[in-house]
């Protein structure tokens, strides 16, 4: 037998992904990835959710009525009888095989059940939901309540009057309202928060400007990539809302989230001395002036002969040709040889025009490569995009179990259509970012 001590086997180290290194995320163990929620949730991991922009946020003695966060999840307190219906709603759509409810399930945050938690010495039940901002560094969040009518059929007269008076101008004109949002401004680097008092004053043009401000589009061009990420999900929700007859949604909201850090990377960097932001597509490079034009001052002899698209050739007067020149002019070159090799070379050649479109192609390749790299280096099979939207708040949602109730929810559909229309208008503004 050998006298050497037996080597102890070391557990295999899991390498951090490129995504984790780039965003300075902590190392995750295999156990963390096996379950979406850690069952033990200690008091150190339980804390107030700092990104809440709407809803209850008051503290009454030891009772905290706002949202909490724990291990990558958001905890929503069950405060009223109506929120018990919200638990039933999440439970039902999670287990349902109805195609419309299965589709709805993809539009809501992941539901991990309910559990009691103790916070500030007070114990109460919480709904455990997915945190959509978990991997974001500079979280920009907006809450948009959908529908002109925000009270359910069981509401009292007092509740109805109260809801009718809230955000009245915005709801009647657009079919939705904005209870609050927060945005990391790219121009200043500051975090700006707008609450319900601000949202109640919004009407007319102010509503569009508030959404534009949330998208970092005040004083700078809107980012087409970000708008398309939102519209991709909004169009799906709109398509579902136009034909679904399974549920009626009162006082539900759209939760919009995006990462300002990724927006900065996509649309340009900010500088300490000069704050500027380019569009999603880099501008075309300037055409360099020739040495002759530089020394001749403003173009010299070529002045008026150059345009933005290249040289302008003027018609020259006819000059009689010599016999030798005439003979050369009548000579025709042999036809070009066509083969599989020449066709392949033609495809590889880039058209170096005065517009320098090869740089546009290169920028598109880089953007596609960056998106593919983020997806491949992610720990999840379906990683979150850096801008997304989900439907939240189902305390006043009702299922259409009776045949006479089965109809399209026009209140919700009209609000979605109006909101999507604004984003489609924003998309038209960014058409100059296309090649």
The stretch 109-136 carries a mean pLDDT of: 86
**Extents of the domains making up the chain:** 33-131, 132-282+357-435
pLDDT reading at 286 higher than 50: no
pLDDT digits (tens, 9 = 90+) for 25-83: 555 444 333 334 444 454 447 767 655 545 445 555 556 677 888 777 888 888 777 77
Asked if 194 contacts 216 with a C-beta cutoff of 8 angstroms, the reply is no
pLDDT reading at 123 higher than 70: yes
According to the model, what pLDDT value does residue 192 have?
A: 93
According to the model, what pLDDT value does residue 133 have?
A: 85
Question: pTM of this prediction?
Answer: 0.65
According to the model, what pLDDT value does residue 270 have?
A: 44
Report how far residue 130's alpha carbon sits from residue 94's, in angstroms, rounded to the nearest whole number: 14
Asked if 116 contacts 125 with a C-beta cutoff of 8 angstroms, the reply is yes
Q: Greater confidence, 159 or 67?
A: 159
| DSSP code of residue 140 | E
Domain 33-131 class, CATH top level? alpha beta
**What secondary structure, in 3-state letters, does 371-386 show?**
HHHHHHHCCCCCCCCC
According to the model, what pLDDT value does residue 326 have?
A: 55
Residue bearing tokens 């020449």: 342
Closest C-alpha among 387, 38, 29 to residue 229: 387
End-to-end CA distance of the chain: 74
Report how far residue 408's alpha carbon sits from residue 134's, in angstroms, rounded to the nearest whole number: 34
pLDDT digits (tens, 9 = 90+) for 240-278: 999 999 999 999 999 999 999 899 888 765 444 334 444
The stretch 306-312 carries a mean pLDDT of: 55
**118 pLDDT band (50/70/90 cuts)?**
confident
pLDDT reading at 239 higher than 80: yes
Domain 132-282+357-435 class, CATH top level? alpha beta
Q: Count the alpha carbons within 13 Å of 181 in the hemisphere toward its beta carbon.
A: 29
The stretch 297-301 carries a mean pLDDT of: 46
């Amino acid at each position: 037998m050998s006298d050497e001590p037996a080597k102890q086997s070391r557990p295999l180290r899991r390498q951090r992904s490129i995504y984790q290194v780039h965003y300075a995320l902590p190392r995750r163990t295999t156990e963390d990835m096996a379950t979406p929620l850690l069952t033990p949730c200690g008091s150190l991991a339980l804390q107030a959710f700092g990104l809440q922009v709407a809803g209850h946020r008051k503290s009454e003695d030891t009772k905290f009525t706002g949202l909490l966060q724990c291990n990558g999840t958001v905890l929503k307190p069950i405060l009223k009888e109506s929120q018990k219906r919200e638990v039933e709603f999440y439970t039902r759509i999670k287990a349902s095989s109805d195609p419309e409810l299965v589709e709805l399930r993809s539009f809501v945050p992941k539901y991990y059940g309910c559990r009691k938690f103790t916070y500030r010495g007070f114990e109460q039940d919480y709904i455990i939901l997915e945190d959509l901002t978990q991997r974001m560094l500079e979280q920009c969040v907006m809450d948009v309540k959908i529908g002109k009518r925000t009270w359910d059929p069981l509401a009292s007269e007092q509740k109805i009057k109260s809801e009718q008076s809230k955000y009245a101008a915005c709801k009647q004109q657009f079919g939705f309202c904005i209870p609050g949002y927060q945005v990391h401004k790219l121009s200043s680097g500051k975090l700006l928060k707008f609450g319900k008092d601000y949202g109640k004053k919004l009407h007319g043009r102010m509503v569009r400007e508030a959404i534009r401000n949330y998208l970092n589009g005040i004083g700078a061009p809107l980012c087409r990539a970000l708008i398309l990420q939102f519209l991709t999900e909004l169009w799906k929700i709109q398509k579902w809302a136009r034909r679904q007859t399974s549920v009626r949604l009162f006082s539900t909201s759209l939760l919009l989230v995006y990462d300002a850090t990724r927006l900065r990377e996509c649309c340009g960097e900010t500088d300490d001395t000069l704050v500027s932001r380019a569009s999603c597509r880099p501008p075309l490079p300037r055409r360099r002036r020739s040495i002759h034009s530089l020394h001749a001052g403003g173009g010299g002899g070529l002045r008026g002969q150059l345009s933005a698209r290249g040289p302008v050739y003027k018609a020259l007067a006819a000059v009689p040709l010599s016999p030798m020149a005439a003979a050369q002019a009548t000579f025709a070159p042999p036809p070009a040889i066509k083969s599989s090799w020449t066709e392949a070379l033609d495809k590889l050649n880039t058209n170096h025009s005065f517009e320098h479109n090869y740089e546009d192609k290169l920028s598109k390749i880089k953007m596609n490569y960056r998106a593919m790299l983020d997806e491949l280096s992610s720990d999840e099979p379906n990683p979150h995009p850096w801008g997304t939207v989900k439907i939240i708040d189902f305390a006043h949602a009702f299922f259409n179990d009776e045949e006479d109730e089965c109809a399209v929810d026009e209140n919700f559909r009209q609000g979605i259509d109006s909101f999507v229309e604004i984003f489609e208008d924003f998309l038209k503004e960014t058409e100059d970012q296309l090649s």
